[in-house]
């Protein structure tokens, strides 16, 4: 299906290669009611060992369709993708549409939903996200609002602890916070001291997701449609500036979801 990209979204994830997500309009849809879709910035291969273990976000063999489309000379700003990779934004919610900027946050919300699912977070559990970055803040809100988990500032005896940093001091904080039988789930780059984690009795350390599994996007969009969390405080809008800046994420990793209007 041929798409015209209208917005890019960068979820700050440190110095990693940018994999912008996009909001796009299906070419040929009605100008009066354009069909909007969320395009995942990362499509895992689906076949490698990591993908088969449910760690699609860490797959090293996937493709970055949006980044590729932006640097293509053939048809800049357009993208041709099979329908199965596209997530309709307005499905089931014609009366109160999500703004483009809020829909662009679906990648960040999918990341925390995936981390929660992987950790086994359930009703009544306590959850603690270390750090103060955008994923930690969204994770705290989703844990409270969506899963019935109790987000906590407590730094001891927590059931499910999440870490979105390779900072060793935060890693130590995460290990100190988790209670017996609990889990620590880390996202993104491995903390250097990770090897030591496996020796902690009663704690399971789960490999996280370097990005997110696109299968979690529909659930993320549904969460945003139901207004279960407010992502507005995390959105930073940038006007299009130069072609050089297009793949440059926020200079302040973790501060915001940068939404660029094309
Ligand atoms: Zn793979």
Parallel/antiparallel/unpaired status of strands 178-186 and 204-206: parallel
- Could you tell me the residue range of the domain that residue 136 belongs to? 112-206
Total tally of structural domains belonging to the chain: 2
Are residues 100 and 220 located together in one domain of the fold? yes
- For 72, residues 6+ apart whose C-beta sits below 8 A from its C-beta are none
The neighbouring-strand residues paired with 4 are 25, 78
Residue ranges with strand state E in 87-170: 87-88, 126-129, 150-151, 158-163
Ligand 1 centre distance from Cα of residue 32 (Å)? 39
Are residues 105 and 117 located together in one domain of the fold? no
Whether the predicted pLDDT of 117 surpasses 80: yes
**By percentage, how much of the chain surpasses pLDDT 90?**
28
**Are residues 15 and 253 in contact, defined by beta-carbon separation less than 8 angstroms?**
yes
pTM of the model: 0.89
Compare 118 and 153 and report the one with higher pLDDT.
118
CATH (domain of 147): 3.40.50.720
Whether the predicted pLDDT of 77 surpasses 60: yes
Tens digits of per-residue pLDDT, 184-240?
888 766 667 767 666 677 777 776 656 788 999 999 999 999 899 999 988 877 765
Cα dihedral sign, 232-152-254-88: negative
Ligand 1 centre distance from Cα of residue 86 (Å)? 18
Compare 15 and 169 and report the one with higher pLDDT.
169
Are residues 104 and 116 located together in one domain of the fold? no
Are residues 104 and 172 located together in one domain of the fold? no
- Examine the fold and report which residue of 161, 177, 206 is the final residue of a domain before the chain moves on: 206
Mean pLDDT of 91-115: 85
Q: Please give the pLDDT value at position 223.
A: 92
15: confidence class by pLDDT, cuts 50, 70, 90? very low
Ligand 1 centre distance from Cα of residue 55 (Å)? 8
Ligand 1 centre distance from Cα of residue 43 (Å)? 9
Compare 39 and 20 and report the one with higher pLDDT.
39
> How many Cβ atoms from other residues are within 10 Å of residue 140's Cβ?
21
């Amino acid at each position: 299906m041929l798409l015209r990209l209208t917005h890019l979204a960068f979820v700050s994830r440190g110095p990693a290669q940018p994999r912008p997500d996009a909001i796009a309009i299906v070419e040929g849809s009605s100008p009066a009611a354009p069909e909007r879709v969320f395009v995942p910035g990362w499509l895992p291969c689906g076949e490698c060992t990591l993908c088969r273990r449910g760690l699609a976000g860490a797959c090293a063999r996937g493709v970055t369709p949006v980044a590729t489309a932006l640097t293509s000379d053939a048809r800049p700003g357009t993208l041709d993708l099979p329908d199965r990779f596209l997530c309709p934004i307005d499905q089931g919610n014609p009366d109160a549409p999500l703004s483009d900027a809020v829909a662009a946050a679906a990648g960040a919300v999918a990341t925390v939903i995936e981390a929660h699912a992987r950790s086994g977070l359930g009703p009544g559990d306590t959850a603690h996200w270390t750090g103060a970055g955008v994923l930690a803040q969204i994770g705290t809100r989703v844990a409270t609002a969506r899963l019935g988990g109790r987000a906590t500032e407590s730094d001891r005896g927590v059931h499910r602890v999440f870490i979105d940093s390779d900072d060793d001091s935060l890693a130590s904080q995460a290990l100190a916070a988790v209670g017996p039988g609990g889990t620590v789930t880390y996202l993104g780059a491995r903390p250097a001291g990770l090897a030591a984690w496996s020796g902690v009795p009663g704690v399971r350390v789960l490999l996280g997701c370097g990005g997110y599994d696109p299968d979690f996007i529909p659930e993320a969009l549904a969460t945003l449609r139901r207004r279960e969390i407010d992502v507005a405080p995390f959105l930073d809008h940038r006007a299009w500036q130069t072609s050089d800046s297009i793949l440059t994420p926020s200079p302040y990793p973790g501060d915001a979801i940068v939404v660029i209007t094309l």
